Structure 1
Amino acid sequence: MKLLAFAASNSKNSINKQLATYAANLVENAEVEIIDINDYEMPIFSEDREKDLGQPQQAKNFYQKIGEADAIIISYAEHNGTYTAAFKNLFDWTSRIEQKLYQNKPMVIMSTTPGPGGAKNVLNNALTSGPYFAANIVGALSVPSFYDNFDGETGKLTNTALNEELMSMLNKL
């Protein structure tokens, strides 16, 4: 299985990237590719820019990465209750190539924050909107209080209940 994983964050020290990487490496017999959305940075989307520029190569490359994968893991960072500007821009450009940008790939989606909210708002946004973009979401997990539930030294989720829930979702990919 070709597994694509990434954080919907452009932070170089993203806790969501740590979580996505951890989850992806739990999937047995998977060929894992972790991508960084910073590699797909583009001008802020607008219809005017789309008219002037056409489809940027970065959006085409991102869409192709999704197409080449058998399954996807995304961990969403939350900025003011919603997607990060970096992810939203990438999403907007890519959805103009094809609205069904997730291409019916099985997906596990997650979110985490340092605080107790666990980025549940952005996770709910992704759950609600995902089907419109051909996201076949097989599981969703919010990890609250990241530093209390994840060991940065070992790169592992330490909360047994959350880890069991994650494993159950990953088995559906």
Structure 2
Amino acid sequence: MNIIAFAATNSTKSINKQLVAYAAQKMGGATVEVLDLNDFELPLFSEDKEAELGQPELAKAFLDKISASDGLVISFAEHNGSYTAAYKNLFDWSSRIKRDVYAHKPTVFLAASPGPGGAASVLDAATKSATFFAADVKASLSIPSFYDNFDVEHQKLTNVDLDAALTSALKTLTA
């Protein structure tokens, strides 16, 4: 099984990158490629830019990665209750090329925040809109108070209940 995993942010120090990397390690028996959105940086989307540039190769490459996978794990960072600008921009470019961005793949959505909300707003928005873009969301999980529940030095969840919930969510991709 080939899984594409990524944090929906361009921050190099993102807790969501740490979470998705940890999730990737927990997927024994699968080949997991962890993408970095910085490898898909595009100009700010607008219809004018689209008319000028057409369909950017980086957006096509992103869609190709998703299409070639057997499943997706995405960890959403939350900026002011919504998607990061980097993810939203890549998503906007991609959806103009192919509305079914998620390509009907089984998907697990994650989110983490340093506060008690666990990025629940963006996770809720992503989950509610996913079917419009052909995601088969099998599970979603929010990790609140990240630094209280994740050992940054050892790169692992320390909260036993959250770790079990993550394991269970990831198993839905192979069920």
In the TM superposition, what whole-angstrom CA distance separates every residue of 1:73-98 from its partner, at most 9, and x where no partner exists?
A: 00000001000000000000000111
Which amino acid in 2 is paired with 1:69?
Answer: S
Q: Which residue of 2 aligns with 1:126?
A: 126
Q: Which residue of 2 aligns with 1:66?
A: 66
Which amino acid in 2 is paired with 1:146?
Answer: F
In the TM superposition, what whole-angstrom CA distance separates every residue of 1:47-78 from its partner, at most 9, and x where no partner exists?
A: 11111110111100000010111111000000
Which amino acid in 2 is paired with 1:93?
Answer: W
Q: Which residue of 1 aligns with 2:31?
A: 31
Which amino acid in 1 is paired with 2:36?
Answer: D
RMSD over aligned Cα atoms: 0.6
Q: Which residue of 1 aligns with 2:48?
A: 48
Deviation at 1:24, TM superposition (A): 1.4
In the TM superposition, what whole-angstrom CA distance separates every residue of 1:107-144 from its partner, at most 9, and x where no partner exists?
A: 11110011111000000000000000001110000000
Q: Which residue of 2 aligns with 1:78?
A: 78
> Which structure 2 residues correspond to residues 1-173 of structure 1 after superposition, within 5 A?
1-173=1-173
Normalising by structure 1, report the TM-score.
Answer: 0.98
Aligned residues: 173
Percent identity between matched residues is: 55
In the TM superposition, what whole-angstrom CA distance separates every residue of 1:7-34 from its partner, at most 9, and x where no partner exists?
A: 0011111110000111111111111101
Which amino acid in 2 is paired with 1:76?
Answer: F
Secondary structure in 2 matching 1:89: helix
Secondary structure in 2 matching 1:141: strand
Rounded to whole Å, the distance in 1 between the matches of 2:113 and 2:172 is: 25
Deviation at 1:171, TM superposition (A): 0.9
Which amino acid in 1 is paired with 2:105?
Answer: K
